[in-house]
């Protein structure tokens, strides 16, 4: 008769605790990445958008662009409407804006490495268990942020209505920014830290 190995209560709690800690740090990683982005481009956002868009919203658009997520711009005048996408980082010549592309990978890598160190991961399997759940918290923030970082305007001139809306594309924000980025970079950070300690 084959013996089955069951996880002890301590191991189950430890795994559950590591997943919860990783998810929580995923939220923190998204916030830290946004704050670094804010510091790097807030002046450019003020200059580019003026009073038409809230500072935090403009910075959020750059943050999503740093995850390779485009901003969807849609508008209509009278009976005509259209939609296009914008990448503010690609359209600027500022070095500080271009450097934003490395912010999410570096932040996620660092958080994955710290997690692996703090939770004492010492092999590839443990590193993946520690690093991959960062995605949970990160994806939640990226999804919520994509919804919240929408800016709309309405105007009327001589009886003609004009509307415009800009926001991060929701599906790429969740899949690319919220799932793929943390799975790749946080896990890579955890793996490197675990292998260095092995």
Residue 5 inside a domain? The answer is no
Separation of first and last alpha carbons in the chain: 35
Residue 9 has pLDDT above 70, yes or no: no
Residue 2 has pLDDT above 90, yes or no: no
Residue 6 inside a domain? The answer is no
Domain count, the chain: 1
pLDDT at position 174 is 96
**pLDDT category of residue 11 using cuts at 50, 70 and 90:** very low
The residues with which 77 forms a beta bridge, in sequence order, are 80, 162
The percent of residues in the chain predicted with pLDDT above 90, rounded, is 54
At 91-135, the pLDDT tens digits run 888 777 889 999 999 999 999 999 999 888 888 888 888 888 999
Residue 154 has pLDDT above 70, yes or no: no
Residue 75 inside a domain? The answer is yes
Closest CA to 127 of 196, 28, 71: 196
* CB burial readout 180-196, b (16+ within 10 A) else e: bbbbbbbbbbbbbbbee
Residue 4 inside a domain? The answer is no
Q: Please give the residue range of the domain that contains residue 93.
A: 13-196
* CB burial readout 139-178, b (16+ within 10 A) else e: bbbbbebbeebebeeeeeeeeeeeebebbbbeebbbebbb
Q: What is the mean pLDDT of residues 130-154?
A: 91
What's the pTM?
A: 0.86
**pLDDT category of residue 4 using cuts at 50, 70 and 90:** very low
Residue 1 inside a domain? The answer is no
């Amino acid at each position: 008769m084959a013996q089955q190995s069951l996880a002890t209560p301590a191991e189950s709690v430890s795994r559950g605790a590591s997943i919860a800690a990783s998810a929580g740090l995923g939220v923190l990683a998204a916030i830290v990445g946004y704050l670094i982005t804010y510091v790097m481009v807030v002046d450019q956002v003020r200059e580019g958008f003026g009073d038409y868009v809230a500072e935090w919203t403009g910075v959020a658009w750059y943050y999503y662009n740093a995850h390779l997520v485009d901003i969807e711009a849609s508008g209509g005048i009278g009976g005509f409407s259209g939609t296009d996408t914008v990448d503010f980082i690609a359209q600027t010549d500022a070095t500080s804006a271009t450097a934003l592309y490395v912010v999410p990978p570096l932040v996620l890598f660092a958080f994955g490495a710290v997690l692996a160190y703090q939770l004492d991961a010492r092999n590839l399997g443990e590193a993946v268990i520690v690093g991959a759940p960062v995605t949970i918290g990160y994806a939640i923030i990226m999804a919520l942020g994509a919804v919240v970082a929408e800016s709309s305007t309405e105007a009327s001139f001589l009886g003609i209505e004009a509307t415009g809306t800009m926001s991060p594309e929701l599906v790429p924000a969740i899949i690319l920014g919220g799932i793929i980025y943390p799975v790749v970079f946080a896990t890579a950070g955890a793996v490197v830290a675990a292998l260095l300690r092995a």
